[in-house]
Amino acid sequence: MDSVFSHVVQAPEDPILGVTVAYNKDNSPAKLNLGVGAYRTEEGKPVVLDVVRKAEQILVSDSKRVKEYLPIVGLAEFNKLSAKLILGADSPAIQENRVTTVQCLSGTGSLRVGGEFLGRHYHERTIYIPQPTWGNHPKVFTLAGLSVKYYRYYDPSTRGLDFQGLLEDLSSAPSGAVVLLHACAHNPTGVDPTPEQWEQIRQLIRSKQLLPFFDSAYQGFASGSLDADAQSVRSFVADGGECLVAQSYAKNMGLYGERVGALSIVCKSADVASRVESQLKLVIRPMYSNPPIHGASIVATILKDSDMYHAWTIELKAMADRIISMRHQLFEALKARGTPGDWSHIIKQIGMFTFTGLNSEQVAFMTKEYHIYLTSDGRISMAGLSSKTVPHLADAIHAAVTKAS
């Protein structure tokens, strides 16, 4: 039989997920996976939060629960609670019914649905994304029908924010262009603007009538405080303007594979928000009809119960604190080895990832000689480190940096 698809060529491995594939094939007992951003314990094990297990039990023991389709926009309770989580319980935008929130498939799904909506209904088809950004961002927005441009973000010479470059690039964007902003814990660099810098960014964006689209994948995970990590988003909403926010519960509730997230669009009026919601449904229905129920039910169970919510904030802070501790341990280990270079960015950057500044040859060397797996841009997932493995990583970095090129 002849296939009509015989001309199809093999797709390249996903650069991020491909790291885990390679890691799994390695037989070395010293191997270390610092690729994908999934949290690990000190023992290197994946974690299901206690409060999530508790929510699971509540759900499975409730014999009245059924498995019916959710509405296209998802679980209503989940949507309301998610909006409050990111925007603040007392947000005037919520009180004025100006926010439409739809359940989507984690951060990816929220970005895609938001992008498709913009591609159909927004007058500007260009989205500005930071350089660098999560590898999947450009694909998501391109398939959504937008054209992708970059704004300067990371400065390799300081391993920090290229603030001047950012302001220049956004200043020269056409009025109305969409701007993707990482709400906190920028992926892959871990470099976030300071509050003062955020304020300048906000003023620039509003003065040029650019449309902000926040990707919030790490709320609570970055600093350990849900409110602090939402400040960038909240300051934009406080000024009365419109924006989009994609939320993910993959990391902060450890619900990775359950694909739980939400897209919120903050509008000028309740009437507009309701029309926008009706159009979001038309994007969703031909994509997957309605979102999966399980993960959203877990989230709603936790967020609406004050004891469980409180228990969650404690577990979340513990994860954030462990990562911060790994940063300090790695920094100290490199200092102790006298590894050449300034490694302070390891403790200045925030969130799950550190942009080490290592180049692709150094990365390849570390993988080959030390069985350490990370993406070729030099990004390491701090969540994959433990006190036991920090020395091995420090040795590898030291060797990579000091070896003759």
Partner 1 sequence: MAMAGRSGLVAGRRFFLGGSSGSCTWMRGLSSWWKNVEPAPKDPILGVTEAFLSDPSPDKVNVGVGAYRDDNGKPVVLECVREAERRIAGSANMEYLPMGGSVKMVEETLKLAYGEDSVFLKDKRVAAVQALSGTGACRLFADFQRRFRPESQIYIPVPTWANHHNIWRDAHVPQQTYHYYHAESRGLDFSALMDDVKNAPNGSFFLLHACAHNPTGVDPTEEQWREISQLIKAKGHFPFFDMAYQGFASGDPERDAKSIRIFLEDGHAIGIAQSYAKNMGLYGQRVGCLSVLCEDEKQAVVVKSQLQQLARPMYSNPPLHGALIVTTILSDPDLKQLWLKEVKMMADRIIGMRAALRENLENLGSTLSWKHITNQIGMFCYSGMTPEQVDRLTKEFHIYMTRNGRISMAGVTTGNVGYLANAIHEVTKSG
What is the set of active-site residues? 134, 215, 251
Q: Tell which residue, 122, 398, 84, has the closest CA to residue 262.
A: 84
Could you give the CA distance from residue 130 to residue 134 in angstroms, rounded to a whole number?
A: 9
* Binder of partner 1 out of 97, 147, 269, 387 (CB under 8 A): 269
Specify the residue, 50 or 369, whose C-beta has the smaller distance to partner 1. Answer: 50
Tell me which DSSP letter residue 26 carries: -
Q: Which residue has the tokens 């969650």?
A: 312
Does residue 251 interact with partner 1 by CB under 8 A? no
Interface pick for partner 1 out of 8, 27, 29, 175 (rule CB under 8 A): 8
In the window 325-344, what residues touch partner 1 (CB under 8 A)? 327
392 scored as a contact of partner 1 (CB under 8 A): no
Does 174 bind partner 1 (CB under 8 A)? Our answer is: no
Q: What is the DSSP pairing of strand 243-248 with strand 261-266? A: antiparallel
**Contact call for residue 279 and partner 1 (CB under 8 A):** yes
Does 17 interact with partner 1 (rule: CB under 8 A)? yes
Contacting partner 1 within 342-371 (CB under 8 A): 347-350
Q: Which is nearer to partner 1, 159 or 362 (CB)?
A: 159
Contact 31, 371 (CB under 8 A): yes
Q: Minimum distance between the CB of residue 209 and partner 1, rounded to whole angstroms?
A: 7
Q: Judged by CB, which is closer to partner 1: 161, or 374?
A: 161
Q: Is 310 in the site for partner 1 (CB under 8 A)?
A: no
Q: Phi and psi of 243, rounded to 5°?
A: -165, 170
Under rule CB under 8 A, which residues in 102-161 are in contact with partner 1? 105-106, 108-109, 112, 121-123, 136, 139-140, 142-143, 158, 160-161
CA dihedral 303, 323, 129, 133 (to 10 degrees): -130
State yes or no: residue 92 binds partner 1 (CB under 8 A): yes
Cα atoms in the Cβ-side hemisphere of radius 13 Å centred on 405 = 7
Q: Which of residues 190-229 bind partner 1 (CB under 8 A)?
A: 190-195, 199, 202, 206, 209, 211, 223-225, 227-228
**How many residues bind to partner 1 according to rule CB under 8 A?**
109
Using CA atoms, how far apart are residues 298 and 310, in angstroms rounded to an integer? Answer: 15
The strand pair at 126-131 and 147-152 is best described as parallel
Which C-beta is closer to partner 1: that of 97 or that of 274?
274
The whole-angstrom separation of Cα 138 and Cα 134 is 8
Looking at the Cβ atoms of 195 and 340, the one nearer to partner 1 is 195
Distance CA 296, CA 172 (A): 40
Q: Which two tokens stand for residue 310?
A: 């409180």
Locate 2 and state its tokens.
């002849």
Contact flag: residue 66 with partner 1 (CB under 8 A): yes
